[in-house]
Structure 1
Amino acid sequence: MPNLDRLKRLSDEVAIVGIGDTDYATDYVRSKEFAQRKRADPTIAPGHDAYTFATRALKRALDDCGLDVSDIDGLVVGPTLSIERTGEVLGIESSWSSQADAVNAIVEAASAIHAGLAECVALVYGNDQRSNEKQYGGPTAEGARFRAYVNYAPWGMTSQGGFYAMMTQRYMALHNVSEADLARISVAQRKFAQLNDNAIMRQPLAVADYLSARYICEPLRLPDYCLVNDGGVALILTTAERAKRMRQSPVLITGISRSDMNRDATSLRPRLIDFYHTAHRSAAQQAYEMAGFGPSDIGMLQVYDSFSPHVLFALEGFGFCPIGEGARFIANGKIEPGGSLPVNTSGGHLSESYMQGWNHQVESVRQLRGHAGKRQVENLRRAQYISDVAGKVASVIYTRGSK
């Protein structure tokens, strides 16, 4: 069991001081043009790779906080990158390093800083998934040998989309949820994307537009699926004490949690029977007890949204609304711009960019700094990120700090 007394010592002791991301919308157009040229000449190279995007993002993060690469003594890279090659490309000689996904990168870096293993850690992610034509479904699905869905390949279940479609079908039947109800998630996030100049999908999307979109795996339609695009993200973390001397107002890491559902995972039990709620509740208790407040005190929520129903499951599992009431909770615009609990305010994975949870961290920082422009959530003090991919539930709670 997590030791909450020890975890509470970490609360507000580490801060995010620098953020950087790449030009998602511009690079999306570039990658589409490259794909057309590649069909005519399969030998051509894109000119950009994952390390290019990671480097660009880190430079912007360093500029954001006023640090030099020589100030960095710790490094966490996303699973798309090699630690050794990333350190070489970026010129980082680190005293501590790791490889992790977005939420675990935050947790590991904060823990390393608190333990004294490093003082200033760069978290770097880059992905050339669109230019490189990576497949997340089908017989050559990316990472299939590490994923539960490889067990279902003989029956054609070779993508997460199929699994989330099954989850959503059962959820909709149990709780009397319609496709129009489900549409409100994609529509809400598109409204935020329309306020974000760097979002890829900025065309208006109404419920009627959603219902006329094609199914990918029923009941999930095209707007329920995340984008596949190139890009990079970087964050810089340091001690809360040092953060007070940085260029930007710090964003403090107030709560962290993790809870995995592994029993019968490859038989889909955690998905279809529980909707991950057992792990949701466990992770929620840990995060909120560490932070010293609960879901009613969260002013903005970021949810890992490779598929839209993640939002419903997370809202219910973390106590923002009762189980089975997610669709009713969002029915009156609560998660839209101006709503009482704005969700995925950059447009999320569905409309801004699919950076596998990393762009949600950047958006959390921008919002808490008050730098989100037309989509800014007013008087925001606390934000939360939730990831429940494949029943591995993790969360980070952020608080606006002061210099």
Structure 2
Amino acid sequence: MKPVGMIAKAASVIGIGQTDWPGDHARVRAAQKPHDSYGYAAQAFVGALADAGISRDQIDGLIVGPTTAYERVGELLGLDVRWGGQADAMLGVMEACMAIASGQAEVVALVYGNDQRSALVNYGGADAQGGGAFLSYVYHAPWGFTSQGALYALMARRYMEERGMSQAELGEVAVAQRMAAARNPAALMRKPITIDDYLASPFICEPLHIFDYCLINDGGVALIVAEAGKAERIGRAPVPIHGIARHDLNRGATSLEPRLTDYYQPAQKTVGEAVFNMASLGPQDMDALQIYDSFSLHIPLALEGYGYCKPGEAGKFMREHGISLARGLPVNTGGGHLSESYMQGWNHQIEAVRQVRGEAGERQVPDCRHVHYSSDVAGKAVSIIYGR
């Protein structure tokens, strides 16, 4: 078995693709059904192939998002691969790197499609879809606790009381990400907002306002990841994956205890040490940060958990240092889940690649060399560093 460090720079992203999120959204809102999850996945895959400049028969690995079946996607895309499976975005990237480092595959397609809005998927409420095994808060449904919004509202209230973050400071997240989305033609919500707009917006589950919640929309995303040496030979603009790590907090997970007491920050600290050591880099070397943001609260928690600021100082950091393209550390430069598109972490990966390539247009971070991605979904803390 190869040491974990052997996956550092073992693979590079050579292709990215996505569907027309604004167009998809407009058609669905007009009561049309352009595609199911498989159709969106196929569209994104075609785009990623074109971006990479390779043919379909060069792919020997396939990972599909949890919204589609692995065998069916392979069948529809005409792929007979020697290795593959199903995973979310962050674990998919990790598994692709591990497969490549261990010789199981050389070129892996990661494909995601979701018709969550047109299919009327419910992520909260008494009939929440996804099951208690993943959405552990539903175990508390008999007591009226039936949504992720309620969970993050509870976390936010405790965090605000314990560490002193104000409503206006949390609002910095939504304002910064809307600023980024305003510069992104692929984003759904492009109208800028101010802190006053945020504070005047309705609560959905206090203390969370409507701008603290992610979007729900249809769409697809795809990446093609190749062995580093092969990526240099066949890829148009390879982006090496410098480091990747994971740490889970399972003890007490179904009681929600890890989220509500330590905000998952012990897992982030452990993962941060591993991924930064693997990449021989640190927080000070990151030019941009992409954070899984089903709710705005993810951002201050990650800033503290990965050492971008001290515990208890995220509110002050966002207010004084800044997390926008205009000042400070740019966070979720495409607009994130709050304003760009809710692609369950997949859109963050392709935004990181675009930033490192220097292809982000008006939202480009100057001389962007390294981008850090963070996710803490359902107790799995995962961290990825993309770089030149």
TM-score range (shorter-chain normalised) is over 0.9
Of the candidates 321, 335, 356, which is equivalent to residue 368 of structure 1? Answer: 356
**How many residue pairs are counted as aligned between the two chains?**
387
Distance 1:12 1:334 in 2: 30
Shift of 1:98: 1.2
Distance (Å, rounded) in 1 between the aligned partners of 2:294 and 2:177: 13
SS at match of 1:145: coil
1:7 is aligned to 2:4: yes
Residue in structure 2 matching 1:222, options 210, 214, 222: 210
Looking at structure 2, the residues matched to 319 and 248 of structure 1 have their Cα atoms a distance apart, in angstroms, of 34
Deviations 1:184-240 (A, max 9, x none): 000000000000001000112111111111111100010000000000000001011
Letter in 1 for 2:132: R
Q: Which residue of 2 aligns with 1:231?
A: 219
Which of 353, 360, 369 is 1:381 aligned to?
A: 369
Give, in angstroms, the shift of residue 247 of structure 1: 4.5
- Aligned mates of 1:317, 1:51 — CA distance in 2: 36
Q: Which moved more, 1:353-362 or 1:156-165?
A: 156-165
How far apart, CA to CA, are the structure 2 residues paired with 1:123 and 1:11? 19
The 5-angstrom pairing of residues 99-248 of structure 1 reads 99-146=86-133, 147-248=135-236
Q: What SS is found at the alignment partner of 1:203?
A: coil
Counterpart CA distance in 1 for 2:17 and 2:34 is 21
Q: Which moved more, 1:89-98 or 1:336-345?
A: 336-345
For 2:344, the aligned partner's letter is: Q
Moved more, 88-97 or 325-334: 325-334
Partner of 1:56: 43
> Which residue pairs with 2:328 in the alignment?
340
Residue of structure 2 in register with 1:40 after alignment: none
CA distance in 1, matches of 2:248, 2:14: 29
Task: Give secondary structure in 1 for the equivalent of 2:13.
Answer: strand
CA drift of 1:26 comes to 1.1
Whole-Å separation in 2 of the counterparts to 1:251 and 1:156: 46
Aligned with 2:264 (options 260, 276, 286): 276
1:73 touches 1:120 (CA, 8 Å); kept in 2? yes
- Name the stretch that deviates more: 152-161 or 165-174: 152-161
CA distance in 2, matches of 1:259, 1:120: 26
Distance 1:142 1:341 in 2: 36
Q: Report the more deviating stretch, 324-333 or 16-25.
A: 324-333
The amino acid of 2:324's aligned partner reads E
- The residue type equivalent to 2:333 in the other structure is T
Q: Is residue 21 from structure 1 mapped to residue 8 from structure 2 by the alignment?
A: no
- Match of 1:38? none
Structure 2: how far apart are the matches of 1:390 and 1:115?
28
User: Which residue of 1 is the match for residue 314 of structure 2?
Assistant: 326
Contact 2:24 2:34 in 1 (8 A): no
Deviation at 1:145, TM superposition (A): 2.9
Tell me if structure 2 keeps the 8 A contact 1:259–1:393: yes
List per-residue Cα deviations over 1:272-318 (Å, max 9, x = no partner): 11011111111111111111111111111000000001000001001
Output the CA distance in 2 between the equivalents of 1:235 and 1:132: 24
Q: Shift in Å at residue 390 of structure 1?
A: 2.4
The 8 Å contact of residues 338 and 377 in structure 1, kept in 2 or not, is answered as: no
Does the CA-based 8 Å contact 2:27-2:34 persist in structure 1? no
Q: Which amino acid letter does the alignment assign opposite residue 342 of structure 1?
A: P
Question: Which stretches of structure 1, 4 residues or more, deviate above 3 A after TM superposition?
Answer: none
1:84 matches 2:81: no
Match of 1:43 in 2: none
Tell me the distance in 2 between the aligned counterparts of 1:142 and 1:124: 22
Q: Is the partner of 1:356 in helix, strand or coil?
A: coil
SS across alignment from 2:382: strand
One-letter amino acid of the counterpart of residue 207, structure 1: I
Unaligned runs of 5+ in 2: none
Q: Distance in 1 between matches of 2:293 and 2:234?
A: 32
Q: What secondary structure, in the 3-state scheme, does the structure 2 residue paired with 1:385 have?
A: strand
Q: Which runs of 5 or more residues in structure 1 are unaligned?
A: 36-45
Contact 2:14 2:231 in 1 (8 A): yes
- Partner SS for 1:371: coil
Normalised to the residue count of structure 1, the TM-score between the two structures is 0.94
Tell me the amino acid that sits aligned with residue 100 of structure 2: I
Opposite residue 318 of structure 2, the aligned amino acid is: I
TM-score by length of 2: 0.98
In 2: Cα distance, 1:391 partner to 1:165 partner: 17
Q: Percent identity?
A: 50
Query: What is the DSSP-based 3-state SS (H/G/I as helix, E as strand, rest coil) of the residue aligned with 2:145?
Result: coil
Question: What is the alpha-carbon distance in structure 1 between the residues aligned to residue 321 and residue 173 of structure 2?
Answer: 10
The residue identity in structure 2 corresponding to 1:351 is S
For residue 364 of structure 1, what is the amino acid of its counterpart? A
> How far does residue 333 in structure 1 lie from its aligned partner after superposition?
5.4
Q: Retained in 1: the 8 A contact 2:132–2:139?
A: no
